[in-house]
Structure 1
Amino acid sequence: MSVINKTIKKQLFINGEWLNSKEYTPLFSPYSRELIAEIPFATVEEVDLAIEAAYQTRNTMSEMPSHQRAKILENLANLIEKLSDEAAKIIAEEAAKPINTAKVEVARTIQTYKFAAEEAKRLSGETIPMDAAPGGEGRLAYTVREPLGVIGAITPFNFPMNLVAHKVGPAIAAGNTIVLKPASQTPLSSYFLAELLQEAGLPSGAFNVVTGSGTVVGEKLIADDRVKKITFTGSPEVGIGIRNKAGLKHVTLELGSNAALIVDRNVDVEKIVPRCVTGAFGFQGQVCISLQRIYVHKDNYNSFVESFIKATENLIVGDPLDSQTDVSALISSKDVERSLNWIEDAKQHGAIVATGGTSEGNILNPTVLLGVDATSKVSCQEVFAPIVLINKVDSVEEGIDLVNDSRFGLQAGIYTENIHTAMHASKKLHVGGVLINDIPTFRVDHMPYGGVKESGVGREGIKYAIKEMTELKLVIFNNN
């Protein structure tokens, strides 16, 4: 039986207990619009309880041996693996993520917690040769990494299990406590996680889930001095606001993107198009590194476009719980309306709708736009929908300039058979990650992940996130 259906009225998870909230809000399926659950809408006082629980438990976690923290994370990974079908169904129901895509997310979530368990045992400092400087003779120095304390985690709807894991996993591995505010549309995954962390042996108070308004929960986490770090994944507008308000708090921000790909002249189009279509339309394009812009060399342009449109029109659109479905509903009707407006904006600027451009309920049919002006919203902003533009370029250099002409810089890709072109692109592309002969949508869970410009600050990827969730301390022994 699904966790969703055990009780339609959910509760806040604070200090190891399930607590009723003073207010509730309905949660509807993005696909069917049916009521899934009633979700607590936390008050400031309830958020305060969660922060205090995490604050009081911080010493318990910081003093816990690393092997014990690793064991809890290993237990968690094993529990998710046993319940992987149930976990995938939760994601499919609350996020309208196609079930096969949801299963991939669950598998990645398991890997993320396993990586966190491994890194918990590798957290170390270094010895410093003090005698390298005059006056440093006879001194022994080393560094250690200590947990920050309470971590405030604010997560998005698009990967409700794995992006939560990228915050919760390293926080536990480093010996921190967590107050989690999941996305309003996808809290069920986080309630599921809370149950499993209890069973895995995490101390009460070390992990707390408070759902509700960003202006209540998020603002309290940012303002409260007991919270030592905010780790946020979401829009640039909200992220910049967090940065401006956070003061001296540690902050990691994983923000937006309009990820781009360059296709060079001698590339085998038929070989790469299926991969590109997956990158553009996986989970309805609601992925930070979804392939949004494609710049194809003029010698390859016509064959690429023809093959891409054909593959796009073969995608199956429908119910996320149907294993045949490739593309399902967007997260809200407002996003459908916005996406249609952006398509119309592109058409007004001269773009051609090669396929798609229409909606059915909350489903936006996969859309391919050609000849899109660089000032159109679908080009210069983050579309977060199944929309991709394909433009012709005269050279790779022109493509690089177009990729860089963006307020974002998360990841970018280039397909080329020329090693010199690949090396040149890797140097010139102003992004956090360059993918050679792959789409920018590629990610595995132990690699450093983050961007430049308005794509954010800091890096995720377990080892890198742990460093940002710890404080470096220097210890010096004077043996003179």
Structure 2
Amino acid sequence: MSEQKKLYINGEWVEGVSYQKLYSPYDHEEIAEIPLASEEQVLSAIASAECAKKTMKSLSAYERSQILNRVADLFEVYKEECAQILASENAKPIKAARGEIVRTIETYRFAADEAKRIHGELVPLGAAQNGKGRFGYTKHEPLGVIAAITPFNFPFNLTAHKLGPAFAAGNTVVLKPASQTPLSGYMTARIFEEAGLPKGALNVITGKGGLIGDLLVKDDRVKMVTFTGSVPVGKSIREKAGLKKVTLELGSNSGVIVDSTDDLEAVVARCVEGAFTFAGQVCISIQRIYVKSSLYERFLESFVNKAKSLKLGNPKDENTDVSALINASETERIEAWLKEAKEQGATIAFGGEKQGTVLGPTIITGASNNLAVNCKEAFGPIVTIEPYEELEEAIEKVNDSEYGLQAGIYTTEIKKAFTAADELEVGGVIINDIPSFRVDNMPYGGVKNSGTGREGVKYSTEEMTELKFISFKL
């Protein structure tokens, strides 16, 4: 019998009112029994966060920084255990899982630093006609209770991107992890508990997304909702949240332009990595590649050869590159998209087949922009590759999307690099690298249906504060 997990409310590990089994996406092995929180338990979690907000606000910047640094230290200690959790609950290949924990540690280190950098500014009131004899300044204060709703694909690091800035700013948090990746949420709570976070400052609740999400989003005690996930859920949160702050990271179908390069093989290798890492289940995974026509045939041939070399299989195998998608329905959806593409005249240049529960890397050519494989978010191991003649044509194709998170361009011409930087309709333009590039202190977020607000520790911390103005009449 698998271990029965508990909710984390007000610094205590609490049994759920009922439980459901959690299975591995790869081999369907039972991993754990997950508690389903009742409405009363969700409200209790909010109440405990509300009660703890005075304690968190009273901590000095140094004390908050120390807690976050201890969290980073403990992730170092539990690095392998955390990586194994990822391999079990979301089938992330173990070498990629270890990479996520390294980034998680770095994210908490950035947050620890940011806790010491929160400051206001002097306002020169004397510059105004009636400001003589007055002194003014601003300060950043914590919002209070923040609801964090996290996705399955980077459950440790994307949680760190919400908890780290929240605690750096002195807030409290109710965390709702994705239903397939609750174990990472419990492990995070365990680490914060060991690091000495005040009781009630972090609460972790699992269960039915609709029930928990609605309670968190609508409760007046919650002052901000930070969400990473699908567009429909993000729009629903925005509609229900009222006047509370909302940050939404809703995904993309990222494009990269290959215009010119001194090392085509290196570009191909990076693009294969960007398309198929974690089976494409990355918000900034490469989904569309537009290649200068003079390079197209060489690029495609090399890309197919490198994709063929990827190893499919068990995520706990040290050599595995691609494993199972998060659930069978996602595989079925992508198979339906591939069928549609073939019926509409596209060519499957490589892949499109399953090995057990693993859908192999798939390369598509000749796909029109209105096909699902191009215009929707795949979140799977598929990529389309198309030639173009002029840069403007490629930029137009990248922009022909309801999404706009990040895009990339490879070019040896500085003028083209600046043209792309100005004309690509995205939140981030990555020049001479893939759009999947992200480090955890850069601003990260999109336009259009890719969401609102920015993550990246400094930027999240600012969004998780309220600016207060103070004036003295001298």
Is the pair's TM-score, using the shorter chain for normalization, greater than 0.5? yes
Amino acid at match of 1:118: D
Amino acid at match of 1:361: G
- Aligned match for 2:193, one of 198, 202, 208: 198
| Corresponding residue of 1:151 | 146
Amino acid at match of 1:184: S
Pairwise CA RMSD? 0.9
Amino acid at match of 1:204: K
| Corresponding residue of 1:397 | 392
Gaps of 5+ in 1: none
| Corresponding residue of 2:94 | 99
How far, CA to CA, are the matches of 1:309 and 1:120 in structure 2?
A: 46
Establish whether residue 435 from structure 1 lines up as the match of residue 440 from structure 2.
Answer: no
Give the conservation status (yes or no) of the 8 Å contact 1:267–1:416. no
**1:358 Cα deviation (Å)?**
1.1
Establish whether residue 329 from structure 1 lines up as the match of residue 324 from structure 2.
Answer: yes
SS in 2 for 1:112: helix
Amino acid at match of 1:425: A
| Corresponding residue of 2:353 | 358
| Corresponding residue of 1:115 | 110
**1:445 Cα deviation (Å)?**
0.4
How far, CA to CA, are the matches of 2:263 and 2:411 in structure 1?
A: 9
How far, CA to CA, are the matches of 1:265 and 1:418 in structure 2?
A: 8
Establish whether residue 77 from structure 1 lines up as the match of residue 46 from structure 2.
Answer: no
Give the conservation status (yes or no) of the 8 Å contact 1:371–1:392. no
**1:362 Cα deviation (Å)?**
2.4
SS in 2 for 1:299: helix
What TM-score, normalized by structure 1, do the two folds share?
0.98
The equivalences for 1:19-418 within 5 A come to: 19-418=14-413
- Aligned match for 1:452, one of 447, 453, 468: 447
1:320 to 1:266, Cα distance in 2 relative to 1, 3 A = closer
How far, CA to CA, are the matches of 2:127 and 2:351 in structure 1?
A: 65
Give the conservation status (yes or no) of the 8 Å contact 1:336–1:359. no
SS in 1 for 2:374: helix
| Corresponding residue of 1:465 | 460
| Corresponding residue of 1:18 | 13
What TM-score, normalized by structure 2, do the two folds share?
0.99
How far, CA to CA, are the matches of 2:40 and 2:259 in structure 1?
A: 57
How far, CA to CA, are the matches of 1:266 and 1:326 in structure 2?
A: 26
Gaps of 5+ in 2: none
- Aligned match for 2:4, one of 9, 18, 36: 9
**1:253 Cα deviation (Å)?**
0.2
How far, CA to CA, are the matches of 2:44 and 2:354 in structure 1?
A: 43
How far, CA to CA, are the matches of 1:424 and 1:291 in structure 2?
A: 21
Amino acid at match of 2:117: R
How far, CA to CA, are the matches of 1:333 and 1:267 in structure 2?
A: 41
How far, CA to CA, are the matches of 1:172 and 1:162 in structure 2?
A: 15
Give the conservation status (yes or no) of the 8 Å contact 2:139–2:468. yes
Give the conservation status (yes or no) of the 8 Å contact 2:271–2:434. yes
How far, CA to CA, are the matches of 2:300 and 2:462 in structure 1?
A: 43
How far, CA to CA, are the matches of 1:15 and 1:323 in structure 2?
A: 39
How far, CA to CA, are the matches of 2:344 and 2:282 in structure 1?
A: 26
SS in 2 for 1:383: coil
Deviations 1:66-85 (A, max 9, x none): 11011000001000101101
How far, CA to CA, are the matches of 1:8 and 1:460 in structure 2?
A: 34
SS in 1 for 2:312: coil
Give the conservation status (yes or no) of the 8 Å contact 2:260–2:410. no
